[in-house]
């Protein structure tokens, strides 16, 4: 059977509730920005807008465009932020693979999003075009051996008789670049002063139940969309939770982050 096309949507309410690790990783990236306070910045893959809020607080005379492919996420971010930042924030539902901006931004900030875009050559070209001269890109996403243990289990489970029909030929919906590959793609897109690096960020989910909810919301929603019944979706995450329950420590997710910094020439 040909693989069914997956949607672009996320469960925004669950993401907002469970995204403490992503928020902490993002805060560290945001704390490294050197902002004047009057810049116009794109938050590329803004999710529910938790970090967009911090960005706006750090830009008291500036503006932020919050962009995401998921309409649920954009709506959630808008509801969160418009009451406090109506005059300095805008919201766009758009694909980073077809970015509708040229020469617009002083900076582009992005966290936990680029690995959902498979073509990083095209992505970096689009980001470069969207920046003004001397504009900066400061981003973090999954990279290197991100979630390698979990992905190996997902792959093996997808090949078992129970799931083969729906997931057997489903290609991974992520691209986890290494640091060298990312640097050379940024260079090819035209960027200068490039710094890239990988860091480990293992995260342990507090309970088996939360581990399953976490997988459903953050990692495997594209896989689960392809399964035809709730029973099969429940069985898929239950089996992965059962495997993790036998690990020491239990419920650990082997996250690795790719950091990206680069500039457009003046």
The answer to whether 80 contacts ligand SAM (rule: CB under 6 A) is no
Among 30, 42, 46, 215, contact with ligand SAM (rule: CB under 6 A): 46
The answer to whether 73 contacts ligand SAM (rule: CB under 6 A) is yes
Nearer to ligand SAM, 141 or 237 (CB): 141
Let me know how long the chain is: 266
Please report how close the Cβ of residue 210 comes to ligand SAM at its closest, in angstroms. Answer: 16
C-alpha span between 198 and 69 (Å, rounded): 25
Nearer to ligand SAM, 95 or 199 (CB): 95
The answer to whether 29 contacts ligand SAM (rule: CB under 6 A) is no
Nearer to ligand SAM, 22 or 177 (CB): 22
Q: Quick check: helix, strand or coil at residue 204?
A: strand
The answer to whether 217 contacts ligand SAM (rule: CB under 6 A) is no
Structure tokens at 22: 């992503």
The answer to whether 45 contacts ligand SAM (rule: CB under 6 A) is yes
**DSSP strand E in 9-128: where?**
40-44, 63-68, 89-93, 105-111
The answer to whether 18 contacts ligand SAM (rule: CB under 6 A) is no
Contacts of 57 (CB under 8 A, 6+ apart): none
Quick one: DSSP state of residue 95?
Answer: -
* Of residues 103-142, those binding ligand SAM (CB under 6 A): 111-113, 116-117
Please report how close the Cβ of residue 156 comes to ligand SAM at its closest, in angstroms. Answer: 24
C-alpha dist (Å) from residue 130 to 68, 134, 135, 263: 15, 12, 9, 12
Cβ atoms of 181 and 119 closer than 8 Å: no
C-alpha Rg value of the chain to the nearest Å: 19
Please report how close the Cβ of residue 114 comes to ligand SAM at its closest, in angstroms. Answer: 8
* Of residues 52-71, those binding ligand SAM (CB under 6 A): 68-70
Nearer to ligand SAM, 47 or 144 (CB): 47
Alpha helices in 115-178 (DSSP H): 120-130, 148-158, 161-167
Residues that bind ligand SAM (CB under 6 A): 10, 19, 22, 26, 45-47, 50-51, 68-70, 73, 95-97, 111-113, 116-117
């Amino acid at each position: 059977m040909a693989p069914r096309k997956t949607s672009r949507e996320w469960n925004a309410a669950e993401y907002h509730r469970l995204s403490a690790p992503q928020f902490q990783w993002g805060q560290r990236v945001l704390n490294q920005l050197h902002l004047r306070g009057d810049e116009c910045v794109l938050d590329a893959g803004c999710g529910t807008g938790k970090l967009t809020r911090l960005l706006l607080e750090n830009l008291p005379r500036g503006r932020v465009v919050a962009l995401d492919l998921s309409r649920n996420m954009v709506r959630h971010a808008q509801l969160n932020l418009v009451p406090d930042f109506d005059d300095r924030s805008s919201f766009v539902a758009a694909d980073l693979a077809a970015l509708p901006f040229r020469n617009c931004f002083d900076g582009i900030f992005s966290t936990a999003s680029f690995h959902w875009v498979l073509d990083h050559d095209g992505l970096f070209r689009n980001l470069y075009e969207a920046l003004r001269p001397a504009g900066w890109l400061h981003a973090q996403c999954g990279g290197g051996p991100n979630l390698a243990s979990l992905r190996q289990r997902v792959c093996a489970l997808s090949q078992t008789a129970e799931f083969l029909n729906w997931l057997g030929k489903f290609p991974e919906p992520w691209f986890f670049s290494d640091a060298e590959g990312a640097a050379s793609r940024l260079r090819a897109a035209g960027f200068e002063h490039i710094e890239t690096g990988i860091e480990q960020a293992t995260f342990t989910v507090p309970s088996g139940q939360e581990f399953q909810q976490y997988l459903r919301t953050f990692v495997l929603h594209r896989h689960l969309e392809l399964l035809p019944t709730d029973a099969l979706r429940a069985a898929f995450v239950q089996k992965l939770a059962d495997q993790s329950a036998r690990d020491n420590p239990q419920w650990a997710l082997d996250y690795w982050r790719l950091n990206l910094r680069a500039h457009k020439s003046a």
